[in-house]
Amino acid sequence: MTTDLQDYSHKRYNILTGEWVLVSPHRAKRPWQGQNEAVSNEARPAHDPSCYLCAGNTRINGEDNPKYEDVFIFTNDFAALQTGSKSFKVDDGLLIAQSEQGICKVICFSPDHSKSLADMSAKDIEKVVFAWQKEYKELAENELINYVQIFENKGAVMGCSNPHPHGQIWSQTTLPNEVDKKDQQQLAYYNKNKSSLLGDYLKQELTKQERIIFENDAFVVLIPFWAVWPFEAMIVPKKQQRSISDLKNNESFLFAEAISVITKAYDKLFNTSFPYSSGIHQAPTNGEDYNHWHWHMSFYPPLLRSASVKKFMVGYEMFGSPQRDITPEIAAKMIKDLL
């Protein structure tokens, strides 16, 4: 990698969205006098009687959770999308709107209130992967659903309202903005090159070995060349697959292993339960041909230089484009050194 990218301001192109990120390596040396987040490493009990997600407890809607022993899924009691909402359109000059329907679910990763994915074994995380696959397949068969978004918000700083290990699955009738951009970019590349955009990118990354954190027989964990968040990471299957439903044989376990590796490394980075938002982007479910899709999972952690210093997307990021100080190469080395 040219030293210019480590020393001077430059822009990097995100091949998946068609957008740019500004990188300013010299700013990583500036002193910090801004806000410091509260750091909480308090031990949590394995079962919290006041937690709406713990096994056997009563949720806010009055329903009792079963005494589940691994993964538990239920329809969100406060769903952002619903199946029975009114269908309508507004087309009034420049005032344009349309109704949106969908199904939102909550997935509890473990009955143990004290854990996160970083504390779970790869075998236990594999049960979560199996649940994701099952939900993706079942929701895909619903004529109302054209996209399934699987994600997790971990940590209060990411707006997580309950520390119990859990994620969410939002499915809807139209494609969200980020998915639509990635769909267009991958399709354009596939039509031009007759190959997978991420597949070809992965070959280049594996050759250079500058941003690779971990790899097994089926997956690569890396810091994307165009990463926005300081310690952003991505898990990419080595062979092109449209969705997690394409995982075969032991690939589900190898995916779980990749998740285990990056989440454990995150917790070691600043010796804290590392907050992040993670999500899986995969092919839409409207029945069309999506041979250009190469699914992947991204992690967007907000911490910047310690457990108490957060990266804020403000100012230039709001009005111009995303910007980062620490380079992806330095971030990759910091995380890889912890493995």
Catalytic residues: 166
Q: How many C-alpha atoms does 208 have within 13 Å on its Cβ side? A: 17
218 and 237 Cβ atoms separated by less than 8 Å? yes
Using CA atoms, how far residue 173 sits from 82, 145, 151, in Å, is 11, 5, 17
Q: How far apart are CA 318 and CA 44, in angstroms?
A: 36
Q: How far apart are CA 228 and CA 301, in angstroms?
A: 10
Query: What stretches of 135-237 adopt beta strand conformation (E)?
Result: 147-154, 166-172, 212-215, 219-222, 233-237
Could you tell me what percentage of the chain is helix, strand and coil, using 3-state DSSP and rounding each to the nearest 5? 30, 25, 50
Question: What is the CB neighbour count within 10 angstroms for residue 240?
Answer: 20
Q: Is 13 helix (H, G, I), strand (E, B) or coil?
A: strand
